[in-house]
Chain A
Amino acid sequence: MLAYFIEAARVLLANRTRSILTIIGLVVGVATIVSVQVAAQGMAGAVSGIFKGTNANTFFVFPKSTQGNVVRAALKLSDLALVQERVPGVVSVIPFSRRQTVVDAGHQRVRLRFGGESDKRFSTSPLAAGRTLNADDIATAAAVCVISDNAYTRLFPGASSPQDVVGSSIYVGSKRYVIAGVLGKTKIDTAALGFDVSNDVAIPYTTFYNTYQRGSSFFGISVLAAQGADLKSLETQTQALLTQVHGAQYQYFDFGFFAKTINGFFSIVGLIVGAVGAISLVVAGIGIMNIMLVSVTERTREIGVRKAIGARSSQVLLQFFIESLLLSAFGCLTGMLIGVGLGVIVNKGFIAKISGVTGGIPWLEVIAIAVGFATLVTLVFGTYPAYRAAKLDPIEALRYE
């Protein structure tokens, strides 16, 4: 059997140019499908990475923008306590507060994400130095802050360790905040994905409210649910409660919703590219069949000679079949490697830049795709030419010019 593979490889190598032209379609088709597969895996990795870096138990509720009475729908400070008291399983409710603002520290002046948080941690970033906000900070609306790793490196480029900056001050406009703690590195830059869940500079939400939100309603609320709580149930309960109190419409979303949206988008892209790839594979398969048929015709005399010297029909069949198999296997393998390469480039250069997470290569799927298509193309498009070669009459074939 191995001898047949060697013999077939020799024939294909002897016709190198034709062999390569034959498989180009296959290479492109498989490369397309595989690269999307790899990129989708990268995206999935990024999404699950986001879950790791943030507290997935968070959801957001805000008024629907389509309703008539915006004033009635506006959320107030009293709603925070209301939700926390009336919806069991809610750990903390804070106003949704987030703004890009200029922060000064010594000679450094940097634009950062600035917002209010509670003593219950919405972010899962590790603490590098100092402490997180505590109940006292919230209760007294203290002028303290916890800064992110990003804020630390940009505001204090000269500092040798986060510990050094704990206790020093930063300024937002004329307001001074004492740094209570510094958070460690998060791998995920969620802001780039369009929904920043972490603040660079977090102050007690009470301080934030008093200083920046008093007198005006706030955009929405962030709710932290207890570990293991049924998020869906809490979301609908909160929504219903607010509707009942305000007589207005509210909507909510969470990270699962984002993940679903992103995954949904990618599965649609995958479907489209998959369909295009499948069509190109059929075309490629027909190409291989065509070339193999041409090859059978061109080599009619050769087939006659082989049969005359004692090759059985089954041996001729096997030989041509294996030639098709090698062509499609080589095409699919090349396509697979190119596809993985492209997928990795997309992952590293694009998805990882946004998400901070590089997804792994789904080798199992990728190899399954390549092997599957090679088998399919060979079976569907390699059999007929091989059959044609095998059933040639040696006498006729020898006479063929």
Chain B
Amino acid sequence: MNRADNVIDVQGVTKTYASGALQVEALRGLTFTIARGEYVAIMGPSGSGKSTLMNVLGCLDRATTGTYKLDGIDVSQLDDNQLAEIRLKKLGFVFQGFNLLARTDALRNVALPLFYAGMPGKERERLALERLTEVGIGDRARHKPTELSGGEQQRVAIARALVNDPAVLLADEPTGNLDSKTSGEILALFDGLSSGGRTVIVVTHDEGVASRARRILRMLDGVIISDTPT
């Protein structure tokens, strides 16, 4: 595969946490690429380094050594403000716990990234409503998170993650808080996004969830132990 097509290019990435005198090597030399449009699941037991990897991929944290290129940009050396800019423009996050702003309706939650991007209010709301409609809850735009079911809240979160048209959608246990029926609906949504050409990376414990992806990266003790298509 041509490297220019790789939206994610990780070369020898390590992450070492220094907790006191103790050094914890959470990532121990990862090298892999993810092509544009891929649907990848990251699996592994607790403590294997999944969250650490997600934080690095999501530009919330920097690798200790190695290089990480996101959409052609070497983000390894960027400062906090530049990383924020990358998160804003290139990444969309979906969390297990939805992480919507309470007391803020669905529309405004979805529009939030656009607010930080400096888009005018009317335009923000128009785009946000468009995204909400795409994920199937355009009619819930004025509802607060507390007035929405778990599945609906996760749809709002997905709409928010997509509102900036990111290069990569990162999801951390997106169905962890949902019942199986709702999980199915959310996974169907991811399937649709993937077949629409969106790059999707999902961290999960659940083999069922992982099986929806086209490729599974399995981690153990900070290294990738297998990289297989489904």
**Residues of chain A at the chain B interface (Cβ within 8 Å):** 3, 6-7, 10, 14-15, 301-302, 304-315, 394-395, 398
B222: interface (CB < 8 Å): no
Q: Mark B119-155, 1 if CB is under 8 A from A, else 0.
A: 0010000000000000000000000000000000000
CB distance from B152 to the nearest CB of A (A): 18
Whether A15 and B103, one on each chain, are in contact in the complex, defined by CB atoms closer than 8 angstroms, is yes
B160: interface (CB < 8 Å): yes
Whether A6 and B87, one on each chain, are in contact in the complex, defined by CB atoms closer than 8 angstroms, is no
The interface residues of chain B lying within 8 Å CB-to-CB of A307 are: 60, 84, 87
CB distance from B98 to the nearest CB of A (A): 10
CB distance from B159 to the nearest CB of A (A): 12
Whether A3 and B84, one on each chain, are in contact in the complex, defined by CB atoms closer than 8 angstroms, is no
Whether B160 and A314, one on each chain, are in contact in the complex, defined by CB atoms closer than 8 angstroms, is no
Whether A3 and B121, one on each chain, are in contact in the complex, defined by CB atoms closer than 8 angstroms, is yes
The interface residues of chain A lying within 8 Å CB-to-CB of B104 are: 10, 14
CB distance from A14 to the nearest CB of B (A): 4
Whether B115 and A7, one on each chain, are in contact in the complex, defined by CB atoms closer than 8 angstroms, is yes
Whether A315 and B116, one on each chain, are in contact in the complex, defined by CB atoms closer than 8 angstroms, is yes
Whether B88 and A313, one on each chain, are in contact in the complex, defined by CB atoms closer than 8 angstroms, is no
Whether A309 and B61, one on each chain, are in contact in the complex, defined by CB atoms closer than 8 angstroms, is no
B113: interface (CB < 8 Å): yes
Known: A3-B121, A14-B103, A306-B112. A312 touches B93 (CB 8 A): no
**Residues of chain B at the chain A interface (Cβ within 8 Å):** 55, 58, 60-61, 80-81, 84-85, 87-89, 91, 93, 95, 99-104, 108, 112-113, 115-118, 121, 160-161, 164
> Between A and B, how many residue pairs show CB distances below 8 Å?
64
The interface residues of chain A lying within 8 Å CB-to-CB of B103 are: 14-15
Whether B95 and A398, one on each chain, are in contact in the complex, defined by CB atoms closer than 8 angstroms, is yes
A3 to B93, CA, bound (A): 24
The interface residues of chain A lying within 8 Å CB-to-CB of B100 are: 305
- With both beta carbons as reference points, the residue of chain A lying nearest to B144 in the complex is identified as A14
The interface residues of chain B lying within 8 Å CB-to-CB of A305 are: 99-101
Known: A310-B116, A312-B85. A395 touches B61 (CB 8 A): yes
CB distance from B167 to the nearest CB of A (A): 13
- With both beta carbons as reference points, the residue of chain A lying nearest to B119 in the complex is identified as A3
A309 to B170, CA, bound (A): 11
Given contacts A7-B115, A302-B102, A310-B113, 13 further A-B contacts (CB under 8 A): A3-B121, A305-B99, A307-B84, A308-B87, A308-B93, A309-B112, A310-B116, A310-B164, A312-B85, A313-B81, A315-B116, A395-B60, A398-B99
Selected from A10, A15, A310, the residue in CB contact (under 8 A) with B85 is A310
Q: Which of A14, A309, A312 is most buried by chain B, counting CB atoms within 10 A of its CB?
A: A309
The interface residues of chain B lying within 8 Å CB-to-CB of A314 are: 81
The interface residues of chain A lying within 8 Å CB-to-CB of B115 are: 3, 7
Whether A309 and B116, one on each chain, are in contact in the complex, defined by CB atoms closer than 8 angstroms, is yes
CB distance from B14 to the nearest CB of A (A): 17
Whether B112 and A308, one on each chain, are in contact in the complex, defined by CB atoms closer than 8 angstroms, is no
The interface residues of chain B lying within 8 Å CB-to-CB of A3 are: 115, 118, 121
A311 to B115, CA, bound (A): 9
Known: A15-B103, A394-B60. A310 touches B121 (CB 8 A): no
The interface residues of chain B lying within 8 Å CB-to-CB of A304 are: 99
Whether A308 and B116, one on each chain, are in contact in the complex, defined by CB atoms closer than 8 angstroms, is no
- With both beta carbons as reference points, the residue of chain B lying nearest to A311 in the complex is identified as B116
19 contacts between A and B (CB under 8 A): A3-B115, A7-B115, A14-B103, A15-B103, A302-B101, A306-B116, A307-B87, A308-B99, A309-B87, A309-B113, A309-B116, A310-B84, A310-B85, A310-B89, A311-B116, A313-B81, A314-B81, A395-B61, A398-B99
Whether A313 and B84, one on each chain, are in contact in the complex, defined by CB atoms closer than 8 angstroms, is yes
- With both beta carbons as reference points, the residue of chain A lying nearest to B58 in the complex is identified as A308
A308 to B94, CA, bound (A): 10
Selected from B55, B113, B116, B118, the residue in CB contact (under 8 A) with A395 is B55
Whether A309 and B88, one on each chain, are in contact in the complex, defined by CB atoms closer than 8 angstroms, is yes
Whether A309 and B101, one on each chain, are in contact in the complex, defined by CB atoms closer than 8 angstroms, is no
Whether B80 and A313, one on each chain, are in contact in the complex, defined by CB atoms closer than 8 angstroms, is yes
The interface residues of chain B lying within 8 Å CB-to-CB of A308 are: 58, 60, 87, 93, 99
CB distance from B169 to the nearest CB of A (A): 12
The interface residues of chain A lying within 8 Å CB-to-CB of B164 are: 310
CB distance from B52 to the nearest CB of A (A): 9
Top-3 shortest CB links A-B: A310-B88, A14-B103, A310-B87
CB distance from A153 to the nearest CB of B (A): 65
A198 to B36, CA, bound (A): 98
A311 to B91, CA, bound (A): 12
A151 to B117, CA, bound (A): 78
A6 to B81, CA, bound (A): 23
CB distance from B20 to the nearest CB of A (A): 17
